[in-house]
Structures are given as structure tokens and as C-alpha cells.
Amino acid sequence: MDFDGKTAIVTGAARGIGRGIALELARRGSNVVIADVDEESAREVVAEIRAGGTMANYCETDVTQQWSTDEMVEAALEGYGQLDVLVNNAGIGGAPGFTTRRTPNVDDWQATFDVNVYGIVNGIQSVEKYMIDRGYGKIVNIASVAGRVGRPGFASYGASKAAAINVSQAWAFKLAPHGVNVNAVCPGLIWTPLWQSIGEWRGSTDEQYTGMTPRQVFQRSVSDIVPLGREQTAEDVGNAVAFLASDRARSITGQALNVDGGIRMN
């Protein structure tokens, strides 16, 4: 999967899964635009990519605002002359304090849909005209295994990720006649700042996790629900994204690929 000479945008790439995706695409030769609101962390990723011999730039981007994703695409085109791949990765679990609530409140619903759904829509709408005119493009949206089946607790997050899958399929139909592939990736259990917050909350409120560190809570969850018995990593997701963004996946569109160790087998 050769990405030499290609350019990719990865939203929410300052940390976690997005960082892993950006590093993997860069490792394969792609120029990468790190689009995020966290400038300090994003610039650290840019420096890491450049140290490996690949070009990278930071673009301050708020995916909830269409004008911001428009500027993101313009920055990529001005900086590199073309745009081949858009990875809509930016996502949140809820409004501030969401891990302390057993049931999501209205702010959680609004926040998750603003970023996890409208953020994808904004990104696609900003890039689709360019890709249609060019007759080529790869769009990969990061959903979640949580979007595969409804569960109580973080219902707003799961619903937003289900919507992300549906949005991916809708645009896959729309853009297929123009040579643009649109797919989603559904990660499983990955140790991220989000999971650390969840682990802290469960450790302090659920008797079965009493005395456990957030990491131990996470590992217990992996043991309980992942058939392969191991956690997934940002690199795992990066490899899946790189495949879907490559020409080896030219006949794949409208799919949601589970990268979850077998949690959902469909």
C-alpha cells in the first residue's frame, strides 16, 4: 500500500486513535494534515511525522463548524496541491462530566452528535466537490463497535456512532458514480484518555471494580467481552484505515469494518 505523493487529512489526530492513523499513513509515505483543536499536541504529532522523513502540517480545525472544515481542505490543497484521503476521526464521548452520569443528559446527546455526526458530515461536504471533480478520493469515517448495537449508559455515544455508519453508507451511494470510496471503521476496546476516564468512574462507583486502577478496569473489560482476549490498538485501526484508503480497496465502499477482536461478528 504505497502512499508516496499522496495527501491525507486526519481530523482529531492530536492524540489517541487519530494520532495512530496519522502516523501509520505517514509511515506508508503520505503527506498528512493534522486537523485538531489541540494545537500543542497536534504539533507534537507533526514533529514526530517530520522526524520520520514525511511531510506534515497542523491545521486548527473545529469539525462542528463547516467554515472550519472548508478551511481545512483549502489548507491541504494549498500546501500539497492535491487531497487523496480524508479520515473523519474526531470524536467525543459526551459533554464534560459524561463519565460520571449513568444516563446521558441532553448536553451529552447534543455534544456527541455535533462532533461524531455533524463533524463527519461537515468534513465530507467540504471535500466532496473537489473529489467529484477529480473523479477520485477515499473517505474513511471512524465509527465504533458501540454503534453496532444499542446499550444503556452511553446511549448517546452509541447512537452517534450508529449514525456515523449510516452517514458513511449514504455518501458511499452518492459518491460511488464519481470514483470516490466511502467506508467506516468500527474500533473495539482501545486504551485512550476516554477509557481512562471511564475506568476511573467505574472504579469509584461499581463494587466489582473496587480497588482497581483505571487500567485494570479496562483490562477486565477486554477479558470479559473480547473473544481474541486482547485489546485493540491505534495501530490496528491505522492499518485498517490505510487499507481502505488504498487502491487495493478500490472495490470496497459503503462498508463498516469491525476492528474489535471479535466483539461483533458481522
What are the structural domains, with CATH classification, of the chain?
Answer: 7-188+233-259 (3.40.50.720), 191-231 (no CATH)
CB 17 within 8 A of CB 192: yes
The pLDDT tens digits for 68-103 are 999 999 999 999 999 999 999 999 988 888 877 878
Beta bridge partners of 7: 31
Q: What angle do CA 11, 174, 17 make, to 5 degrees?
A: 20
Mean pLDDT computed over every residue of the chain: 95
The pLDDT-based confidence of 199 (bands split at 50, 70, 90) is confident
Read off the C-alpha cell for 208.
Answer: 466489582
- Closest Cα partner for 223 from 263, 193, 196, 259? 263
The pLDDT tens digits for 130-141 are 999 999 999 999
Q: Assess whether pLDDT exceeds 80 at residue 175.
A: yes
Question: pTM score > 0.85 for this model?
Answer: yes
The answer to whether 157 is a known catalytic residue is: yes
Backbone phi and psi for residue 139, each to the nearest 5 degrees, phi listed first: -120, 125
Annotated active-site residue in 58, 80, 157, 209: 157
Q: Assess whether pLDDT exceeds 70 at residue 1.
A: no
Strands 137-142 and 85-88: parallel
The pLDDT-based confidence of 148 (bands split at 50, 70, 90) is very high
Q: Assess whether pLDDT exceeds 80 at residue 28.
A: yes
For residue 18, which amino acid is it?
A: G
